[in-house]
Structures are given as C-alpha cells and as structure tokens.
Chain A
Amino acid sequence: MNIYVLVKRTFDTEEKLVVSGGQIQEDGAEFIINPYDEYAIEEAITVRDAHGGEVTVVTIGDEEAEKQLRTALAMGADKAVLINTEDDVEEMDQFTAAYILAEYLKDKEADLILAGNVAIDGGSGQVGPRVADLLDINYVTTITSLEIEGETVKIVRDIEGDAEELETSLPLLVTAQQGLNEPRYPSLPGIMKAKKKPLEELELDDLDIDEEDVEAKTETIEVYLPPKKQAGRILEGEIPSQVSELVSLLRSEAKVI
C-alpha cells in the first residue's frame, strides 16, 4: 500500500509566547511535530505493518523541518520529503499549502493519505480536506479508528463527542483525532536507522509550480496576545459562607446566572 502522511512542524504551544512587531517570536522556541500528525504517522506505520507497502512523510517548510522528518523516520516511516519553500513563498495560507501538497501528490497514486485533523499553531484544520478535494479523492476527518478489509475501509470518527461509524473505500484521505492510537517514541535503533533513510528535498520549481499560483488568499494583519486578566478573587471564611458569597457574586457582580 502506498501511504503518505502530511506533517507540520509546529511551535510547541506549551512554550511562552512572545509577540513583537505583530509577529510571534520564534527564536529559541521549541518546535515539535504537530501532536495530531503524530497520530497520523503512528497509524500509517500500523497500516503498513499490517498490509505491506511504504510510508512517506511529507512536509512544507525550510531546512529546520528536517528534524521533525527525521523523528518521523525514526518512528518507522520509510521515506521523507521536504518541500522547501523558504526562497519562493513569503506568505503561506491553507490554500497555498494544499495547492503545493496536491501538486506533489497528484502523480503518486497514493492509496491512503493521513494528516492531523488540526495543527495546534494555526488551528484551521483545512489543509487535509482541501488536498483531498484537489486530488478528487474522498476524505474523512477526525477519525478515531481505521480498519482496512480488502476494498472496504471501516472508520469511526469523532463528531463533537459522538462516534460515527462509516464505510468507504480507497483511495482516501483521513485526518487523525486524539484517541486514534498511542504514538510510539522513536527507539534508539530507530533513530540510528533514520539517519540512513532517504530524505528528498524539493522546491517549487521541481513541482512545476509558479509562485503566483500559490499566492495566499488571506492575509494576517496583526497578531496579539489576549489582554491580561485581572487577578481573581480567592474567597475567604468557612466553606458554606464562601459558597453563598460565590452564588451572590455570580448573580450580582458577574451576572452570569
């Protein structure tokens, strides 16, 4: 089976955010594989081990993203592709990313494409379904279970907490939700092997993409931190009197009840 995983290198949102000049400052921050993409990588490896084939992880970014690709290879992916847009793309949005990925994937005859359902930095959750639409293949988002039996693919997906059971077929793009699996940690032999696995680097030229074709459709005007909350009030006294004070504050001061 020919399996592709779309991966994004993301700012670790557990880091402290610093904004200056309307931009998030990334210097010295920790970067990780988007956590939802880790579920996608794990699932891809599991499917390959059960059905045979090859797992290729693909990302768009600059050379820094090699580190995350090597981690995916160390987990067990077979090949990695970095589409380096550093010199060609100044502003990227979901339209841009999906266009580039679809151009790369269009002649790959992928049976199964996996991605995270959302990236924890931008949080739009658009790229997976957009890629599927451009490739004219079916997609299923926020999946929590995947079973492939011959031509049939049985999936459970999370829809706002409920579990929807459905059937579809390959070729298919799915996006991973938490609960799909428990991503493995790269083993030491895995890390050693990953160093020798192929990592291909491509630029827009290699994909016959003009810079104009991938111009972002949206524009971020400003990035800012939410206003600091005033320190809250810790109530005092016996618990029963705190409780009645709280109820009256919620009614009269906060006016939420």
Chain B
Amino acid sequence: MSKKVLVLGETREGALRNVSFEAIAAAKKISGGGEVVAVLLGEAVSEFGNELVAYGADRVITVEHPHLKSYTSDGYGQAFMAVVDQEQPEAIVFGHTAVGKDLSPKIASKLQTGLISDVTDIEGEGDDAVFIRPIYSGKAFEKVKLKEDGVVFITVRPNNIAPLEREERSGDVSSLSVDITNLRTIIKNVVRKSAEGVDLSEAKVIIAGGRGVKSKDGFEPLQELADLLGGAVGASRGACDADYCDYSLQIGQTGKVVTPDLYIAAGISGAIQHMAGMSNSKVIVAINKDPEANIFKVADYGIVGDLFDVIPLLTEEFKKVM
C-alpha cells in the first residue's frame, strides 16, 4: 500500500538545510509511490517551497505566523498538528536536528505512535521498509520497524541518506492558516557559538583537533584547512576540557555525532568516547605524533608526525590541486 508522507522542511540562516532534502528522499522510499508532502513552518517561509519540490516533494504546505519566527515546541507543535489533521498522513519524516529531536517525541506522543529516531539507513520500501539506527554510541546498529498499523514516524540523521537529484519539477505550494496561541516558552536571545557557515553535523569535511593542538591558537591552522575545503572544525573532549575551544565543537559520546565524507583527526589520541562520535565517517585520516595512538586503528590513512608540520603542508598541497 502506498503511503502519504509528511516531511518537515527546515531552514537555517536563510536557506533550506540539506537534511530536509535527505528527509524527502527517505520519505520517497517509505511512500511506496504515495504522495510526499513537505511542510514549512516559520514567519516567512513560502519562498522555499519550490526548492523542496525540486528535491522531490510532490506538494508543499506552509504555515506562516509571527509566533513561528523562533522554534518552540508549543508553536511548532500546534502548527504541525494542524497540518496532520488536514492531511491525515500515514508516515512522517523529520531531520534528526535540534528542532527534529525536540518536536518529534511530542508529535509521536499526540499521535500515540512509535517514533524511530536517528535513522541512518532504510532497507526496503513502502510497507516493507525497515529502519537502521546506531545504538550504544554507534558501537552497534539495530533494525527497527513499526509493530502494528499506525503512523510510521522517523527522524533521519544528517549526511546519511542521499538526497534525490535536483530537477525542475512542478508542485503546488499552498498555505494553511493556523491560530498559534499560548506559547509557554519565550525565546529571548540566541548566542551564536558555533563557527559561521558550515554546520558541524552536516559538514562533508571535518578537521578535528585534540589535546595535541595545545592552545586556542593551535586551532588556527585547522580552521584554515577547513575553510579551504569548505568544511568545519571539530574537537575532542580533551581539547574542550583544556579550554582550547568551545564545547559546541565537541565530537563524541557526549557532544556531536558526525558522519562526514572526510574526517581528519589531528592530535587526537582516539579515546573510545571520541570514536563514538566519528567512527562512522566515510574516510578517516589520523595525524598524530604517537604511532601507538588508538586513532590509527580506525583511520583509513595515517601520518605519524606533528600536526603543526603536517596540517599547514596539507593546506598548501590542497591549494595546489584545487
């Protein structure tokens, strides 16, 4: 049986997030030929509708309201449930993002359905779809499905499910008017701590530093390489604890879990907690002075050497060929 699937589209800094396109691709698989309807919530978001269609949404519904300018679970919850009531979907896909993680349990609770969070892969299609997700900090995986009839609800981890090819397609972008009332949370301010530009959880390239970076300034050569490759800088807990960088950069069991195409670990020994956050990266490069460092066990390529020698040379070398 084909399914009608709702997908929550998300914007960040005035653009759609990649994970929204990935969520559409996931929705296509689950739909088994059914309709994929993207949902955009915000103060002014209808301009993004056509882009979601280009990435595979059959139709887009926007809910625009001044109370949706910042995310709150009350505001987004009311708006999304209004769309659910109108559309009666058989499946729902969110990105496993700050918004998706916060909102999805509330919606699942209201629909009294199961929620399969942080999905990294989907096997099968339509009714036979089975969802794969990491457990035990990425040290194992489980295959999960919904037990009985009900709304199939998943969140997809950024950077794991390939988006569909962008094509000029046509699809209706309509708006739904919803009365958003009684917000119990008032957002006062957002202090930007993460680096400008590339979001760590969605970055295709990550240059991460550990204790071996030795100081705040030590991150500069890493940032330079990240900028050149269009990537982001990350860190181990050791580097954060030593105050070389903000905790917002931390990758690991506590901190962010990332799966970039290329992960360069510089001066990171490879504690098991750190590995939990990055071991599923597609290609891992380790740079460490200690040839016995654990990180070499998960690395595809390793250079035994001082990161302050290697990283600047690497930047120069990439400049030559790019």
Contacts and interface: CB of A to CB of B under 8 A. Distances in A.
Q: Do A and B bind each other?
A: yes
Nearest to B131: A218
B273 interface: yes
B7 to A, nearest CB: 19
Contacts of A50: none
Nearest to B186: A167
A224 B80 CA distance: 35
Contacts of B261: 256
A164 B187 contact: yes
B314 A17 contact: no
Contacts of A235: 301-303
B311 to A, nearest CB: 9
A124 B101 CA distance: 8
Interface stretch (B143-151, B164-172, B210-218): B143-151
B187 A240 contact: no
B181 interface: no
B143 A162 contact: no
Interface in B127-166: 130, 133-148, 150
A224 B256 CA distance: 23
Given A178-B247, A216-B114, A161 B145 contact: no
Interface string B276-292: 10011011111000010
Contact of B185 (A94, A168, A222): A168
B97 A160 contact: yes
Interface in A200-238: 215-226, 229, 231-235
Interface string B245-267: 01111100111100001100000
Contact of B285 (A94, A129, A225, A246): A246
A242 interface: yes
A220 B150 CA distance: 16
Interface residues of A, number: 76
Nearest to A141: B102
B283 A254 contact: yes
A188 interface: no
Given A165-B190, A243-B314, A126 B291 contact: no
Nearest to A224: B141
A13 B136 CA distance: 6
Given A94-B115, A161-B248, A216-B114, A246 B301 contact: yes
A237 B144 CA distance: 47
B301 A166 contact: no
B47 to A, nearest CB: 23
A243 B12 CA distance: 36
Interface residues of B, number: 93
Given A160-B199, A254-B283, A14 B273 contact: yes
B296 interface: yes
Interface of A is mostly: mixed
A226 B276 contact: no
B269 interface: no
Nearest to B321: A247
Nearest to A96: B114
A83 B141 CA distance: 28
Contact of A123 (B118, B249, B256): B118
Contact of A138 (B134, B137, B185, B313): B185
B83 to A, nearest CB: 18
Contacts of A98: 105, 109
B296 to A, nearest CB: 6
A8 to B, nearest CB: 13
A110 interface: no
Contact of B110 (A19, A133, A220, A232): A133
A254 B283 CA distance: 7
B245 to A, nearest CB: 11
Most buried by B among A123, A224, A226: A123
A63 interface: no
Nearest to B123: A221
A104 interface: no
9 contacts: A17-B139, A121-B135, A124-B115, A129-B106, A138-B185, A223-B143, A226-B138, A246-B303, A247-B317
Given A123-B117, A134-B109, A249-B301, 16 more contacts: A17-B140, A98-B109, A160-B256, A161-B200, A165-B188, A178-B254, A218-B114, A218-B147, A223-B135, A223-B141, A225-B140, A232-B298, A233-B300, A254-B283, A254-B300, A256-B282
Q: Which 10 A-B pairs have the closest CB atoms?
A: A217-B114, A161-B248, A161-B194, A218-B114, A129-B105, A133-B109, A138-B184, A126-B105, A159-B98, A232-B299
